[in-house]
A and B are shown apart, each in its own frame.
Chain A
Amino acid sequence: MSALLEVRDLVKRFPVKRGLFFERTVDWVEAVAGVSFDIGAGETLGLVGESGSGKSTTGFCVLQLMRPTSGSVRFEGRELTELSGEELRRVRRNAQIVFQDPYSSLDPRMTVGNIVAEPLVVHSVGTRRDRRTRVRELLDVVGFDPTYVNRYPHEFSGGQRQRIGIARALALSPRLIICDEPVSALDVSIQAQIINLLKDLQAEFGLAYLFIAHDLAVVRSVSDRIAVMHRGRIVETGPAKDVYEHPKDEYTKALLASVPVPDPARMQERKADRRKLQGAVAM
């Protein structure tokens, strides 16, 4: 049986433009340089990497929010890179995304209710009354008080806004949700709430996640399998336990050793480990 999502040799290049009168393309930047992975139904693949590793771009390319330069993305058996227009829109219902920045991911001129209802409106699902009910259910499920449907996003805190974004992603009952750094912009205690929420939702609705983040500890708490990205390539994948405890790639080892852990006793040992790996990481 094939996996829910199969990505093969995904490449995304961005043109570097120059020119006075008409911009010409003089060079290419390869943000994603051949990435392959699978995600099965109901499981979480954690995609980790530092800034510039291409992980967010990978996420956007999977959903065809950016068109990949080459490569294949098979979702539920269908090749997404070949779809466009109405067919792509239909498939979009089953794969959604939660963005990193709670401040720019919600249209400031729309009410909370309209934001969450938009997926339903766009796909003409249900009557207006059905949609209203559905929006209230969704908000309740993500822990957002439904009585505030008519307020505007700027009235709420970062954590509350992320909940709105998650409700929007759930509206069409997708099977896959791409979480692009969903908690990076939040305080620690709120992070914990949202991480718990995402795990609960996964258990309840059988969601699969592509969880993109740079915080290794956060990723470990939600992922079944890990893929480590560095400069556009995946340098290591495997079950979370294996990657975290017995990393094989030098970069992965350096990455893991660099994370500060809140345990002064362990810190000394980790600093020693780090010094041994000095060469693997550029400044």
Chain B
Amino acid sequence: MSEPLLEVRDLRTHFFTREGVVRAVDGVSLSVDRGRTLGLVGESGCGKSVTALSILGLIPKPPARIVGGEVLFRGRDLTTLSERELEDVRGKQIAMVFQDPMTSLNPTLTIETQLVETIRRHTDASRREASRRAVELLDEVGIPKPEARLGDYPHRLSGGMRQRVMIAIALSCEPDLLIADEPTTALDVTVQAQVLDLLDRLRREHDMAMIVITHDMGVIAEVADEVAVMYAGQIVEQASAAALFARPEHPYTEALLGALPQLEDHASRVGRLTAIPGRPPSLVEPPAGCRFAARCPYAGEPDGCAEHPPELRELRRGHFVRSEHPASERARPREGVSA
């Protein structure tokens, strides 16, 4: 079995603020193989974005700091690299696409400038060569009449186009890994579908690995091969996409899937959605035991899962759960929670 391209081991990123230490990422381990897409899913505040930023060392250093764990990319631990060395990795080997293309593209520079700048940063192409490459890239991401677009400023393009430009910039140096943080959240649903298709196709054509971070389970189903579900700074379930949707094990995953209104559900008008009572725990003083215990319909005294934090264990081949009460181990069926 070949080595994974990226392996994160027990990563911990904490924010040191006036109100206390926020343990945004608290022991996250994951891996991505070449040519595969990992979906990292969770609601806001679960730490998924911070995880991605930590991989690339892009967290704001004064309040935040990686306090533990390793990020092994092709054997090298990125957490030990200096800023200069990280700059070489960023863009060239690991590229990132962000949520809002309007703020991640410089509005005062033309598309051409931004593309060329990136290309020349990481390769020794001449300006002309870089320009030509830029046109190729724009064409590849599906922008019509790319030569004409070079001179445009970001605000002349629609949201979908801008996101494609971002992807072009990310691809410009043939990275091995592409991290996309909520790449389609700001886009209309029809454009979203196109951009997701594009990402998938590019991933296959360039044999890249991809990490897609999102809160949208539908997006996960569309593009991810493997899925990791995050809650309160930890991974609570990890499995192949097919397995996760077919047989979710963690109570949180079940609840999350149950809370989704289904597009193709005939009875959704009259049914009720599964609402998870309560709110995620504070990351400044996380609970001692299982972080989901307070909202979990299966947590109970005798098990002590409120006292002892469960470990991430392999329930089946390739299916990991951090819970004392995964679905397949429950003795008798309990009523789901409806609030």
Q: Kindly identify which residue among B160, B192, B245, B256 contacts A189, using a CB–CB cutoff of 8 Å.
A: B256
Q: Is the CB of B272 within 8 A of A196?
A: yes
Mask: chain A, 181-218; 1 = CB below 8 Å from B; 0 = not: 00000011101110110010000000000000011111
Q: Kindly identify which residue among B43, B242, B261, B279 contacts A217, using a CB–CB cutoff of 8 Å.
A: B261
Contacts A196-B275, A260-B216, A262-B221 known; A220 to B269 CB distance under 8 Å?
yes
Q: Is the CB of B263 within 8 A of A261?
A: yes
Q: Is the CB of A193 within 8 A of B275?
A: yes
Q: Give the contact stretch, choosing among B49-57, B119-127, B167-175, B193-201.
A: B193-201
Q: Kindly identify which residue among A51, A191, A220 contacts B263, using a CB–CB cutoff of 8 Å.
A: A220
Mask: chain A, 249-283; 1 = CB below 8 Å from B; 0 = not: 00000111111111111110001001000000101
A262 to B268, CA, bound (A): 15
List chain A residues, Cβ under 8 A from B196: 260
Q: Is the CB of A283 within 8 A of B191?
A: yes
Q: Give the contact stretch, choosing among A58-66, A104-112, A221-229.
A: A221-229
For chain B, which range describes its interface: under 10, 10 to 19, 20 to 34, or 35 or more residues? 35 or more
In the complex, what's the smallest C-beta–C-beta distance from A157 to chain B, in angstroms? 7
List chain A residues, Cβ under 8 A from B188: 50-51, 214
**5 A-B pairs closest in CB distance:** A260-B218, A192-B259, A192-B273, A221-B261, A262-B217
List chain A residues, Cβ under 8 A from B161: 283
A51 to B188, CA, bound (A): 7
Contacts A50-B188, A283-B191 known; A189 to B220 CB distance under 8 Å?
no
A267 to B188, CA, bound (A): 18
Main secondary structure of the interface of A (DSSP, over half): helix
Q: Is the CB of A266 within 8 A of B261?
A: no
Q: Is the CB of B263 within 8 A of A240?
A: no
Q: Is the CB of A264 within 8 A of B275?
A: no
A172 to B160, CA, bound (A): 42
Q: List 30 A-B contacts (CB under 8 A).
A: A50-B188, A187-B43, A187-B215, A191-B259, A192-B274, A192-B276, A196-B272, A196-B339, A215-B261, A220-B263, A221-B268, A221-B269, A222-B269, A245-B266, A258-B193, A259-B189, A259-B218, A259-B263, A260-B196, A260-B219, A260-B222, A261-B262, A262-B218, A264-B241, A267-B221, A271-B197, A271-B222, A274-B193, A283-B142, A283-B161
B329 at the A interface (CB under 8 A): no
In the complex, what's the smallest C-beta–C-beta distance from B219 to chain A, in angstroms? 5
A191 to B273, CA, bound (A): 9
Q: Is the CB of B275 within 8 A of A258?
A: no
A187 to B161, CA, bound (A): 27
List chain B residues, Cβ under 8 A from A195: 261, 273
**Residues of A bordering B, CB below 8 Å:** 50-51, 157, 187-189, 191-193, 195-196, 199, 214-218, 220-224, 240-241, 244-245, 254-267, 271, 274, 281, 283
Mask: chain B, 250-262; 1 = CB below 8 Å from A; 0 = not: 0000011101111
A160 to B318, CA, bound (A): 38
Q: Is the CB of A262 within 8 A of B189?
A: no
Chain B residue nearest in CB terms to A258? B193
**Which residues 218-244 of B have a CB within 8 angstroms of A?**
218-222, 241-242
B335 at the A interface (CB under 8 A): no
B80 at the A interface (CB under 8 A): no
B282 at the A interface (CB under 8 A): no
List chain A residues, Cβ under 8 A from B144: 283
A199 to B261, CA, bound (A): 13
In the complex, what's the smallest C-beta–C-beta distance from A173 to chain B, in angstroms? 24
* Number of interchain pairs (Cβ within 8 Å): 128
A267 to B218, CA, bound (A): 9
In the complex, what's the smallest C-beta–C-beta distance from B312 to chain A, in angstroms? 22
B44 at the A interface (CB under 8 A): yes
Chain B residue nearest in CB terms to A48? B189
List chain B residues, Cβ under 8 A from A266: 221, 264
A189 to B339, CA, bound (A): 11
Chain A residue nearest in CB terms to B184? A260
In the complex, what's the smallest C-beta–C-beta distance from B30 to chain A, in angstroms? 19
B106 at the A interface (CB under 8 A): no
Chain B residue nearest in CB terms to A222? B269
Q: Is the CB of A193 within 8 A of B264?
A: no
A260 to B192, CA, bound (A): 9
Q: Is the CB of A264 within 8 A of B43?
A: no
A256 to B218, CA, bound (A): 13
**Which residues 58-82 of B have a CB within 8 angstroms of A?**
none
Chain B residue nearest in CB terms to A194? B275
In the complex, what's the smallest C-beta–C-beta distance from B190 to chain A, in angstroms? 4
Which of B144, B190, B266, B338 lies at the interface centre, i.e. has the most chain A CB atoms within 10 A of its CB? B190
Contacts A50-B188, A51-B188, A262-B221 known; A189 to B269 CB distance under 8 Å?
no
B265 at the A interface (CB under 8 A): yes
A195 to B246, CA, bound (A): 25
Q: Kindly identify which residue among B222, B246, B255, B265 contacts A267, using a CB–CB cutoff of 8 Å.
A: B222
List chain B residues, Cβ under 8 A from A258: 189-190, 192-193
Q: Is the CB of B256 within 8 A of A217?
A: no
A222 to B270, CA, bound (A): 8
A274 to B274, CA, bound (A): 30
A216 to B268, CA, bound (A): 12
A152 to B261, CA, bound (A): 32
A152 to B227, CA, bound (A): 39
A188 to B43, CA, bound (A): 7
Chain B residue nearest in CB terms to A51? B188
Q: Is the CB of B43 within 8 A of A216?
A: no
Q: Is the CB of A189 within 8 A of B190?
A: no
B158 at the A interface (CB under 8 A): yes
Contacts A193-B275, A224-B269, A260-B221 known; A188 to B193 CB distance under 8 Å?
no
List chain A residues, Cβ under 8 A from B222: 260, 267, 271
